[in-house]
A = this chain, B = another copy of it.
């Protein structure tokens, strides 16, 4: 089965992202707005428990982090994607690295660029029109993230949360 790891930001930020996704994101109905921490990867049935333990260890050893949206940006011309660019910081980077080491290691196809997608598979004219407008907009948003989710993909392409993990050890 295909799994992925993502952070769901606050309802406030998800609502802002959805106001764009509704029109511009072909995956709008597949999953709520999110920041992907680990790209989709395969887990075989017998391996799930061990992988979950490994993810739990990574979560325990991590810390809550600040999610700060810097601006709107685009992956064009690599892909016709629009996104909210999220500031890198050492806690987020450390978490992403922990979730990609040991049992969880997997070659990344691209460097890790923290972002929240708001449009994808857009045609060029629409992308350049919308991006042209969004470049002029300032977006000031910062929040604390204290959890992330392991999700799996259904046959229709939608994602269901398997488990949430809190960042840092609890008392």
User: Residues on A close to B: CB < 8 A?
Assistant: 1, 8, 11, 14-15, 18, 22, 28-29, 32, 147, 149, 152, 154-156, 158-164
Q: For residue A11, which residues in chain B have a CB less than 8 angstroms away from its CB?
A: 1, 152, 154-155, 160
Q: For residue A28, which residues in chain B have a CB less than 8 angstroms away from its CB?
A: 29
Interface contact A18-B162, CB-CB below 8 Å: no
Q: Which of B18, B29, B147, B154 contacts A154 (CB 8 A)?
A: B18
- Cα distance, A29 to B32, chains bound together (Å): 10
- Cα distance, A156 to B29, chains bound together (Å): 11
The main secondary structure of chain A at its interface with chain B is: mixed
Nearest-CB residue, chain B, relative to A165:
B164
Interface contact A15-B154, CB-CB below 8 Å: yes
Q: Which of B1, B8, B159, B161 contacts A164 (CB 8 A)?
A: B161
Q: For residue A159, which residues in chain B have a CB less than 8 angstroms away from its CB?
A: 32
